[in-house]
Amino acid sequence: MEIEFKNLLSEQEYLSLFTHYASTKQPVWQANDYFDTPDFELRQKGAALRIREKKQGLVLTLKQPQAKGLLETHVTLTSAEAEDLFKYGLIHSKEMNAQLKTFELQGSLEHLGRLETERVEVELSEGLLVLDKSHYLGHTDYELEFEVTDFEQGQKDFQHILMEHDIMQRQTKNKIVRFMERKALS
């Protein structure tokens, strides 16, 4: 289970938080390639499927909404397995196929596009503070994520961070939702 709080940032807010928390850290590059059926069956059920590429390798992740947070299923992929998903919509993992089967998808999986992120993670006593600068479909956005193990305490700590840095709390959609909304406009 993943419990995280998110807030979109202006470029200035991002730079201020970066200077305060992460000025000695080097951002890590990662890319997310998103998949869904032609009719966006996963999206309609609040789920998301992606391949995340980092320097360490490829991980296929299915995110499913839960009452408090997201259930994530992760599977490491080889380059050949990733290529099969990109080209043919095929997934070789029995575990991932079992999770996807619960959605009763009618269409085949297709690659929707790529979102690239420069990420900095800072471990605080209250939780993991993450600063993301993301590029997708000709757009750049900035985001603060705060990952915790306790929802109620994490929410308080997150709001304290925002107040401390004079950042307005904004309703923030997941990256895949922002990606999909921008894709619908293009």
The token duo for 148 is 């915790």
The arithmetic mean of pLDDT across residues 105-131, rounded, is 96
The arithmetic mean of pLDDT across residues 59-73, rounded, is 86
* pLDDT tops 80 at residue 1: no
Q: Which domain holds residue 49?
A: 3-185
Given a contact cutoff of 8 angstroms between Cβ atoms, the answer to whether 94 and 9 are in contact is: no
User: What is the pLDDT, as a whole number, of residue 181?
Assistant: 87
Number of domains the chain is built from: 1
The arithmetic mean of pLDDT across residues 17-35, rounded, is 95
Residue 76 — pLDDT band, cuts 50, 70, 90? very high
* pLDDT tops 90 at residue 90: yes
* pLDDT tops 80 at residue 107: yes
Which CATH number is 130's domain given? 2.40.320.10
User: What is the pLDDT, as a whole number, of residue 70?
Assistant: 78
Pairing of strands 69-77, 3-9: unpaired
Which residue reads 């089967």 in tokens?
A: 101
The arithmetic mean of pLDDT across residues 121-136, rounded, is 97
The arithmetic mean of pLDDT across residues 14-36, rounded, is 95
**Residue 140: partners with Cβ closer than 8 Å, 6 or more residues away:** 133, 134
User: What is the pLDDT, as a whole number, of residue 185?
Assistant: 82
